[in-house]
Amino acid sequence: MIETILNAMDHGVLLVDEHQKVRAANPPFMRLFGPMLNGSPVGLSMDVLFAMLDGAHDDAGGWSGALCEAVSARRAFDYQRIGSGDAVCEVRGQPIERIGYLFSFKDTPEQTLPEKVRRLQERHIEQILDNSPVGVNIVGQDGRRRYCNKKICELLGLSEAELQRTQAGDHYADPAIRSRIIEKMTKAGAVENEEVELVRKDGHHFWALISCRSFSYHGEECVLGWVYEITDRVELERSQMRSREELEMQVLELRDREERMARQAGELETLAVRLAESEKKMAELANHDSLTGLPTLRLCHDRLQQAMAQAARSQTLMAVFYVDLDGFKPVNDTYGHDAGDQVLKEAAQRMSGCFREVDTVSRIGGDEFLILLTGLGFRDVVVPLADRLLSSFADEFKFDEGGTNIGASVGIAFFNGASDTPESLIKRADKAMYDAKKNGKNRYSIA
């Protein structure tokens, strides 16, 4: 029924499911874009399809990013003009509950190609300006804005509508400064990197570099201005200036006390060395477990994010093992924490020996470990790895007070693609580990 409805429409229609995969494309769509495709787009990922159609505009930002963003946010939008090859059309998007997202493409044959290209170029320029880290606005002779990009709104803490209702001079800490800048621009033709203090909507002051020049906008004589925030730089310079002043005062005092100066210099050097050592140790403690030397959850989490991104890009398989030691608590209760620490160190060494150097074995809790495996060829490859891991616990663990046998329960989860997050992947592996414990311990379970 859906196919019949789509085929009956006189404009191009594209249906995308909730996983952003193309599920249907009607004949008018194929007439518009078929020459740029190798067959039917059904089954393609939406971002791949739009990248193919928008390929000629990738360097300028193109229109595909805005369409993909609307789908991800499940946001409808009215007609937006796009160009692909020789085709220029208007596209409209609408989310559909429990189905996905529907695009309609309306050809605009009544416009000449140069006019279509000009409109596309204007749209691309606006997209570039809206993604610029520099605020851009065009101000008329009356002090009101004719154009402003997103960054200038962000800098001033105002919406575009609010900004249009204000005068350009309203945002200066000293309104007279703008008059001086305009006067300077009139004489010199332009102003470059003038340092000024501006005010946000909430009353907070910030520093910015202002550059401006005369500019004809739709036949009207205006001022084109660029605003780049430098608050951090100004505060840093002031901090450095205060530090220099304080240092100069200290030097004046120390010149009259040479012995004290030498002693303080020695103390400062010692403190610097200790600080460097402390920072190094803190960084090491943050990323590596002090007992086993294994990566901590923090470092493993970073590596997991990178591995998931790489797996998604290269369409390769990756998995995590969630390992919890069986019978470890009685070691601490019976022999003490020193014996428990020896067992944990030995367990860490045995597990590390079961995997490749590119894999990550980390300690994430008392007797809990997380193992990250990347570049797997197929799912069944984890079975011998899990068996090897469990076999590594077969020998008795020795410590100063004696020895004991412990085992391990292992939960295994595979990365499922874009729907997975590091937290969801670890959670599934953790649940699988508890299933292994329920089924008798010293075994593995796959989520």
The residues that are catalytic are 367
The whole-angstrom separation of Cα 272 and Cα 252 is: 22
List all residues 6 or more positions away from 432 whose beta carbon is below 8 Å from its beta carbon: 322, 411, 412, 413, 445, 446, 447
The first and second tokens of residue 332, run together, are: 């601490």
Contact call for residues 357 and 403 (beta carbons, < 8 A): no
d(CA 175, CA 343) in angstroms, rounded, equals 71
d(CA 152, CA 137): 7
In angstroms and rounded to an integer, the radius of gyration of the C-alpha atoms of the chain is: 32
To which H or E segment does residue 320 belong?
strand 317-326
| DSSP letter for each residue of 330-391 | HHHHHH-HHHHHHHHHHHHHHHHTTS-TTSEEEE-SSSEEEEEEEEES-GGGHHHHHHHHHH
Beta bridge partners of 14: 25, 103
- The residue assigned the tokens 């998604």 is 312
In the block, which residue shows the tokens 């695009």? Answer: 103
Q: What is the β-pairing status of strands 368-376 and 407-414?
A: unpaired
Estimate to the nearest angstrom the gap between the alpha carbon of 197 and the chain centroid. 31
Selection from 147, 166, 146, 143 nearest residue 156 by Cα:
166
